[in-house]
Amino acid sequence: MQTTNVIEYMRVKYKVKISRPDQPMLSVNFRDDTMYLPTELCHEAALPDNFTSDARKMRDLDQYKLKSPTVRF
């Protein structure tokens, strides 16, 4: 087993350059595992309030939000 740091791992595995090596990591609980993601690679996934208050829009969204992330991508 080889050890590496996040910056090197992201560069080799995903060809992504982390610009701020001192940034905090985002802790994400996924199933029974915890993943740590560089914050500069994360984006907020939220809907505006005026969208979520419209029942018709939320009903139309159901077909997308109920699928797995791979299918949505």
Asked if residue 61 is part of any domain, the answer here is yes
pLDDT average per 10 residues of sequence, the chain (73 residues): 88 91 87 88 81 84 72 65
**Which domain range does residue 55 map to?**
6-72
**Residue 53: inside a domain:** yes
Q: Would 47 be classed as within a structural domain? A: yes
59 lies in some domain:
yes
Total count of domains within the chain = 1
Helices (H) and strands (E) in the chain, counts: 4, 2
Instruction: Say what the pLDDT of residue 15 is.
Output: 93
Using CA atoms in the order 46, 51, 54, 55, what is the torsion angle rounded to 10 degrees? -40
Q: What is the pTM of this model?
A: 0.50
User: Would you say residue 1 lies in a domain?
Assistant: no
